Amino acid sequence: MDFANRVKRFYLEHIPGAKLSGNHIKAPCPFCSPEEGEKPGIIAVYVNPESFFSGYFRCSNRCTPGGFPLYFGRIMGIEAEKVPGYDPDREPYVRDMVFPTRNLNTELLQFISLMEKDRYEHFADFGVSKAVIDEMKIGYNGRYLVYPYFLEDGNCYAARCILPAREQDTFWHGNDKFFARKFRIFNVQEIDRCEGGAMFITDSENNLLTLKELGYPGIAVPSEADLEVLTPERLFYINHIFLVMKNSPEAQLSARSLATRLGFKVRILKWPSHLKRDYNLVSLSREKIEGFRAAVSSMISKSKAFSPFSSPEKEHRNFIDVLEREKGGSLLGLSCGFEKMDRALSGIRGINIMGGPPKAGKSCFFMQISTEMARRKNPVIYYDFENGRQTIYTRTLCRLSRLSGKEIRMENPDVNISKKIKTAQKDFRGMLRYFRVVTDRKLNPDIMRRQIDFIQHETRQDYSVVVVDSLHKLPFENLSDRRTGIDAWLRHMESIRDEQNVSFFVVSELSRGDGGSYSGKPDLGSFKESGDIEYSADNAMILLPDWDLLDPISTTKRKSTLWLAASRENSPGKIAVYSLEYPYWGFKEV
């Protein structure tokens, strides 16, 4: 027997006089205690197997809050093993605190007694009846409406007071310990009543009241900022959550943040784009009146389970957009400024790792490539743990001006040098809009993701280039196990590459061979402390100097050969020979 039929059979067996009529089970309410001469309310159970709210019961007199089978079983005293959905390993949620003996329960009765006709008319203006207001125990203190925040123990220790004509005018009343954000869940007991079922989460108590009028279960928080109190642990046993917030970017961002924490059980109800800012359920109820129920039902039917994946439609559109951009182009990726390198790699894309002996010019090589790409208005972040920001900037200015560092720092340069510096500085200043140097040794993947998001947003580009100098100097959680840390960073780079459209240039060290020397053999075995480079790198390159590292730079012209050791899509082999133009800190492709 499937679960829906088990639920139906459970209610028919345990509600006296229950009869099935279409998608509803109805019977005299077993919980009602009517006064003499009055009839009990009708308990109705919705059992449409296609509905997320199948199995939800409620009384027409609202004598007891509605709920799902597990809650029904508890209040009826039915053995838990006989209730559909019972989990013997379930651990109930318990707050780690001792509740005080003093509460607001008696005071609330006084507030409720002050509710007069005009107070109920305030709620009737947006379609909420007196029955719902009484069920939620909302009162009035003579000026403010009082919304009680009952806790799991059934008592109220704090209430939010709201001025009817001006909802921004609000304050908390009661025990100030319970004014804290972690207690700001209106109708919190609903969570346990909806175990094994579905419920709504919304912002503002009044928005929840409109849903309660329709018969939906739910909870509310005062504002979108309070959504952070809702944890996966607290909502673990709810199967489906419908999240509907006011129409504002801030509220939608908070909704997505909560959905990310809770996962696929969440469905975010979306507002049409033409609606005004802060439009909410109260606004919809006022506008639609009799059509409010149909409007909410439509929003539910159109909602989709929150997914960490892009929709198929978006994936298809992005793929076609990339294909269109690549049409007619000789490169599949970005140009780095070196013709032979562009051709060998089919353009810059993916994770490009370059190794080489110390002082072979790896940093200088990537400084040139990254700054040239930034000059072409490609956003670049340079994560530097080797040279320092001033060195990167100075060498870039030397290359742009064709002057040495000594000439740039001259106190009284001649006219020709001044002109070169001025022209280079203008070029350098324009480049900095697209070029950022980061030297933060507390860097982690989350910070890197945020910085990439920022530069793409600031430059209005949907791609970027990231340089890491070097892989072995990245911050690791466990400094004693550097290889594990390097491999973990490579995994994160793979995710960032795919999710944020990033091309990486990564400097790596090489392993020493026998006798402490560096092997001249350009293969993947040369890379130091990472077995994952061969799996992560789209292109693995090695820069080998054709000169004696101990030779003074002034006595010989330095040349280095760049080899493609391995590639996912391109043929390994020699890329090109590069000569260093000293003292301008630039390479020239030979």
The predicted-structure confidence for 82-92, as pLDDT tens digits, reads as follows 999 998 888 87
Per-residue pLDDT for 554 more than 50? no
Average pLDDT over residues 96-104: 90
Average pLDDT over residues 59-79: 95
Per-residue pLDDT for 165 more than 90? no
Residue with tokens 């009384």: 59
Question: Which pLDDT score, from 0 to 100, does residue 515 have?
Answer: 61
Question: Which pLDDT score, from 0 to 100, does residue 329 have?
Answer: 57
Q: Which residues contact 195 (CB under 8 A, 6 or more apart)?
A: 68, 70, 71, 85, 237, 238
Lowest mean pLDDT among 142-151, 312-321, 375-384, 567-576: 312-321
Taking alpha carbons only, the member of 566, 484, 540 closest to residue 351 is 540
CB distance 540 to 504 below 8 Å? no
Per-residue pLDDT for 519 more than 90? no
Q: In the chain, what's the furthest Cα-to-Cα distance?
A: 113
Per-residue pLDDT for 487 more than 50? yes
CB distance 587 to 574 below 8 Å? no
Average pLDDT over residues 430-441: 93
Distance CA 588, CA 372 (A): 13
Average pLDDT over residues 529-547: 82
Lowest mean pLDDT among 325-339, 448-462, 575-589: 325-339
Question: Which pLDDT score, from 0 to 100, does residue 486 have?
Answer: 86
Domains of the chain: which residue ranges? 3-82, 105-302, 339-589
Taking alpha carbons only, the member of 67, 57, 54 closest to residue 18 is 57
Question: Which pLDDT score, from 0 to 100, does residue 430 have?
Answer: 94
Instruction: Please tell me the total number of residues recorded for the chain in this structure.
Output: 590
Per-residue pLDDT for 513 more than 70? no
User: For 104, which DSSP code?
Assistant: S
CA dihedral 562, 566, 570, 575 (to 10 degrees): 10
Query: DSSP letters along 263-316, please?
Result: -TTEEE----TTSPTT--HHHHHHHHGGGHHHHHHHHHHH--B--SSPPHHHHH
Question: Which pLDDT score, from 0 to 100, does residue 172 have?
Answer: 97
Lowest mean pLDDT among 360-369, 471-480, 485-494, 516-525: 516-525
Give the rounded distance of the alpha carbon of 374 from its chain centre: 28
Question: Which pLDDT score, from 0 to 100, does residue 334 have?
Answer: 87
Structure tokens at 56: 């939800």
CB distance 465 to 380 below 8 Å? yes
Distance CA 453, CA 430 (A): 21
CB distance 472 to 436 below 8 Å? no
**pLDDT-above-70 percentage for the chain:** 92
Which of the four pLDDT bands, split at 50, 70 and 90, describes residue 550?
low
CB distance 490 to 533 below 8 Å? yes
Environment class of 308 (CB within 10 Å of its CB; exposed 0-12, middle 13-18, buried 19+): exposed
Distance CA 331, CA 507 (A): 23
Per-residue pLDDT for 196 more than 90? yes
pLDDT digits (tens, 9 = 90+) for 14-48: 999 999 999 999 999 999 987 766 788 999 999 99
User: For 557, which DSSP code?
Assistant: -
Question: Mean pLDDT of all residues in the chain?
Answer: 89
Q: What is the CA radius of gyration of the chain?
A: 34
Please give the helix or strand (H or E) that residue 62 lies within, else none.
Answer: none
CB distance 350 to 339 below 8 Å? no
Lowest mean pLDDT among 247-256, 345-354, 513-522: 513-522
Q: Give domain 3-82's CATH architecture.
A: Alpha-Beta Complex (3.90)
Question: Which pLDDT score, from 0 to 100, does residue 533 have?
Answer: 78
Per-residue pLDDT for 353 more than 90? yes
CB distance 219 to 248 below 8 Å? no
The answer regarding whether domain 105-302 maps to CATH 3.40.1360.10 reads: yes
Which of the four pLDDT bands, split at 50, 70 and 90, describes residue 555?
very low
Long-range contacts, 433-436 (Cβ 8 Å, 24+):
433/459, 434/374, 434/375, 434/377, 434/378, 434/379, 434/380, 434/459, 435/370, 435/371, 435/374, 435/380, 435/382, 436/380, 436/381, 436/382
Question: Which pLDDT score, from 0 to 100, does residue 480 have?
Answer: 58
Distance CA 99, CA 92 (A): 17
Average pLDDT over residues 216-232: 94
The answer regarding whether domain 339-589 maps to CATH 3.40.50.300 reads: yes
Task: Report CA-CA distances (Å) from 149 to 5, 117, 159, 161.
Answer: 36, 23, 5, 11
Beta bridge partners of 560: 545, 578
CB distance 254 to 222 below 8 Å? no
Per-residue pLDDT for 64 more than 70? yes
CB distance 205 to 186 below 8 Å? yes
Give the rounded distance of the alpha carbon of 574 from its chain centre: 43
Residue with tokens 């109930």: 92
Taking alpha carbons only, the member of 540, 376, 344 closest to residue 464 is 376
Per-residue pLDDT for 80 more than 80? yes
User: Are β-strands 198-203 and 166-174 bridged in parallel, bridged antiparallel, or unpaired?
Assistant: unpaired
Question: Which pLDDT score, from 0 to 100, does residue 34 have?
Answer: 74
Per-residue pLDDT for 275 more than 60? yes
Question: Which pLDDT score, from 0 to 100, does residue 395 have?
Answer: 95
Which of the four pLDDT bands, split at 50, 70 and 90, describes residue 484?
confident
Taking alpha carbons only, the member of 304, 302, 280, 303 closest to residue 292 is 280
